[in-house]
Chain A
Amino acid sequence: NAGVTQTPKFQVLKTGQSMTLQCAQDMNHEYMSWYRQDPGMGLRLIHYSVGAGITDQGEVPNGYNVSRSTTEDFPLRLLSAAPSQTSVYFCASSYGGPTTIYEQYFGPGTRLTVT
């Protein structure tokens, strides 16, 4: 299994540009989520999904959109990039729904810089 994969690894955007961060998992996990980590800080939840066609907002959803058309993929879209969105973005997945007690598997991250 490849686990959780994220592309790209690095990205530089100009203010106002849009882009999609890709996340895929091959473990047939129902639950997937996106976090951001700012320098020296812990991770904060952006959006999550409990299955194909179902998404919900996390702690810091503004400026981001998600969709879940398949079990495997959970892309994160930046609508109009701002310097405040400079961060490292992590995707995670796990068995079960929102009440699962199973551990989450994290991807390697995408390092995004907005100038």
Chain B
Amino acid sequence: DAKTTQPPSMDCAEGRAANLPCNHSTISGNEYVYWYRQIHSQGPQYIIHGLKNNETNEMASLIITEDRKSSTLILPHATLRDTAVYYCIVRRAASKLTFGTGTRLQVTL
């Protein structure tokens, strides 16, 4: 699995877009980029995943650079409920995920 690098923490004002970066320079052609989040001590929650193209769902958008070496998760209008640890995972399959320490996003008033 490709190694990922995320900033340990970020702040975002409520109502603004939260842009969470992830570097994965060693990603291979058949590996997907998955994003999960963990709110407080709850079980992780799937957000979105993508291979090459940008993806959008009701929760977020995923922007993957053309060379696929980095990606950005965008929460378009962050709320206090989006305060969580966000994990970027690069893997060929969604099984046997490896969770690092992620980015702790703090949304403030």
Residues of the A chain whose Cβ atoms lie less than 8 Å from the Cβ of B100:
42
For B92, give the chain A residue with the smallest CB separation. A99
What is the distance, in angstroms, from A56's C-beta to the closest C-beta of chain B? 9
**How far apart sit A99 and B96, CA to CA, in the bound complex (Å)?**
9
Contacting pair A90 B94 (CB below 8 A): no
Known: A101-B32, A101-B49. A109 touches B95 (CB 8 A): no
Contacting pair B43 A100 (CB below 8 A): no
Contacts from B to A (Cβ < 8 Å) = 32, 34, 41-46, 49, 87, 92-102
Query: Which of A33, A42, A44, A45 meets B102, CB within 8 Å?
Result: A42
Known: A45-B98, A94-B95, A99-B93. A109 touches B46 (CB 8 A): no
Q: Tell me how many residues of A have a C-beta within 8 Å of chain B.
A: 33
**How far apart sit A101 and B30, CA to CA, in the bound complex (Å)?**
11
Residues of the B chain whose Cβ atoms lie less than 8 Å from the Cβ of A105:
46
Contacting pair A104 B46 (CB below 8 A): yes
Residues of the A chain whose Cβ atoms lie less than 8 Å from the Cβ of B87:
42
Most buried by B among A92, A96, A111: A92
For B85, give the chain A residue with the smallest CB separation. A42
Contacting pair A106 B45 (CB below 8 A): yes
**How far apart sit A16 and B87, CA to CA, in the bound complex (Å)?**
34
Contacting pair A101 B94 (CB below 8 A): yes
Residues of the B chain whose Cβ atoms lie less than 8 Å from the Cβ of A108:
42-43
Contacting pair A104 B95 (CB below 8 A): yes
**How far apart sit A20 and B98, CA to CA, in the bound complex (Å)?**
24
Residues of the B chain whose Cβ atoms lie less than 8 Å from the Cβ of A106:
43-45
Residues of the B chain whose Cβ atoms lie less than 8 Å from the Cβ of A99:
92-93, 95
Query: Which of B41, B95, B99, B101 meets A100, CB within 8 Å?
Result: B95
For B32, give the chain A residue with the smallest CB separation. A101
